[in-house]
Structure 1
């Protein structure tokens, strides 16, 4: 009798201890980094540095709500360039970066929360261009512009292309119109949004060559319970229609 009672009490104690270990420290605070990547994340004033409430965009609205619901503290900063903030999230415990394409070669480098939204990969040309493509192989004969350090640029290089990279993706829209590049490798809807912000319209898609989902990428040292909590809240937000409402607000 006493042995069974002791075993029951011990089991309860173990469960209670496990729950306590799984709880998130109320003082835990994350550092979240992002870049100017409209319409997903952008500085209100269009600059390459902004903090907290001076940011907006699809991903910013979703991430803010996700952390609010999860009850997890954070600091949010927009910086430049992407390669720098990506490296910080990769190396520093408690850091995260968004939005990042979840690619096979990145899978083991981070812990992931998402998806936040889609990002089709396209080659855009000027409206008066006669270029017609069926594959990336056919694009090798043209000058292709891309965003330095971005997953799209890395993919092109892996496929044997030599993209002409720019430090800001919106610069590629202007280079395309000025004839400095023949094609612009970018995301959709991001590329069209950036072009529109620069007063450029009428671009046409000559090739849609891949599709990626965009995520919040967290440093590998972020506690699993934090990742599970954030993912759970995002899933509920999607079920409630919050995510679709944010997408429709910007697009």
Structure 2
């Protein structure tokens, strides 16, 4: 009798464990990639590689709450360069990249969750610069620094400008300070944050020339029901004021 009871208990335990593993296997989990793009995403140590709890920022905190509300698993990795992580998300099922501008050229390449926040496109100059602009066309005569693979750089090239490209956007802060470039095409507030990360401040905005909304871009193979759950969760957090509170912590 005792032996039968032990066998029964063992069988029940195995069934319970199997059901737990099955439930975990059925729970969707996504690989989320990002870059240093303060105040939206950044490594706590300021480096170009970080994972999970070593990341912070507006978008990081919003997405943590969104995935928790939607009950969807995820991992977060911050790495460099942007072009690499963008292509990883584009090519690999179960991957996503954040934050990225949702522009017409990218619309059909991903499935989208957002918006997470705005990104004004600006031209920054040194504080003592005499440059005064009313249009992007007027900037054509100047050396403009931009970031490889970034939507702002691509936009400038489509307008017929030839920006000076770097692999890390904060390098443009150093180049602008030293006079290697006249203007820095970047996002607001990201550009000023990046400059402060490398100990530089005092740049002024001489032109605002576009505005984009920033999103989580998911590989097209991510199931629609997962995208809907995430979007619904994000919309709920906005309605409850959670997103505004997160932004207030950084801005």
Q: TM-score, normalised by structure 1?
A: 0.89
Counterpart in 2 of 1:204? 204
Query: How many Å separate the matches in 1 of 2:142 and 2:183?
Result: 7
Q: Write the mapping of 1:1-251 to structure 2, written as runs, cut at 5 A.
A: 26-251=26-251
Secondary structure at the counterpart of residue 202 of structure 1: coil
Q: Offset of 1:44 from its aligned partner?
A: 0.9
Please give the root-mean-square deviation of Cα atoms over the aligned residues, in Å: 1.2
**24-33 or 236-245: bigger deviation:** 24-33
Q: Are the equivalent residues in 1 in contact too, given 2:46–2:197 (CA < 8 A)?
A: no
Q: Offset of 1:201 from its aligned partner?
A: 1.9
User: Over residues 49-77 of structure 1, what are the superposed CA-to-partner deviations in whole Å (9 max), with x where a residue is unaligned?
Assistant: 11111111110000111001100011111
Q: Offset of 1:32 from its aligned partner?
A: 0.6
Query: How many Å separate the matches in 1 of 2:153 and 2:56?
Result: 25
What are structure 2's unaligned runs of at least 5 residues? 1-23
Q: Offset of 1:198 from its aligned partner?
A: 2.2
Secondary structure at the counterpart of residue 214 of structure 2: strand
Secondary structure at the counterpart of residue 170 of structure 2: helix
Q: Are the equivalent residues in 2 in contact too, given 1:26–1:72 (CA < 8 A)?
A: no
Query: How many Å separate the matches in 2 of 1:217 and 1:150?
Result: 14
Query: How many Å separate the matches in 1 of 2:70 and 2:26?
Result: 11
Query: How many Å separate the matches in 1 of 2:100 and 2:75?
Result: 18
Query: How many Å separate the matches in 2 of 1:128 and 1:144?
Result: 17
Q: Offset of 1:25 from its aligned partner?
A: 7.1
Q: Offset of 1:193 from its aligned partner?
A: 1.1
Secondary structure at the counterpart of residue 105 of structure 2: coil
Cα 1:212/1:25, change in 2 over 3 Å: farther
Query: How many Å separate the matches in 2 of 1:26 and 1:58?
Result: 29
Q: TM-score, normalised by structure 2?
A: 0.89
Query: How many Å separate the matches in 1 of 2:29 and 2:160?
Result: 42
Q: Are the equivalent residues in 1 in contact too, given 2:33–2:97 (CA < 8 A)?
A: yes
Number of residue pairs the alignment of both structures matches = 228
